Amino acid sequence: MNIYVMKTHKEGQETRMTKLRTAHNIFHRKMIIQQKQNQRAIFLKLKTACIITLYQITILNRGN
């Protein structure tokens, strides 16, 4: 009869896979943060472009 004993994770003892998983999670978090920052930057650029266009239209309409 085989008896299997579950190994418990000991504090301060990290396996290579645990380190890889941690690095992987940190990478994903950073990627998500970067994507959000990129989206905000694109939104601000679009908003600025719309405001500039609106002012240009207003100035052109004043001339007529």
- Match 């001339």 to its residue by tokens: 63
pLDDT digits (tens, 9 = 90+) for 2-26: 666 666 666 666 677 888 888 999 9
> Does the residue 39 lie in any domain?
yes
Is residue 58 included in any domain, yes or no?
yes
SS3 content of the chain, % helix, strand, coil (to 5): 75, 0, 25
Question: Phi then psi for 6, rounded to 5 degrees?
Answer: -75, 130
Q: What residue numbers bound the domain in which 41 lies?
A: 29-64
Per the structure, the count of domains in the chain is 1
What is d(CA 44, CA 39) in angstroms, rounded to the nearest whole number? 9
For residue 45, is it within any domain? yes
In a domain, 60, yes or no: yes
Q: Is residue 59 part of a domain?
A: yes
Residue 21 placed within a domain: no
Percent of the chain with pLDDT over 70: 77
Residue 53 has pLDDT above 70, yes or no: yes
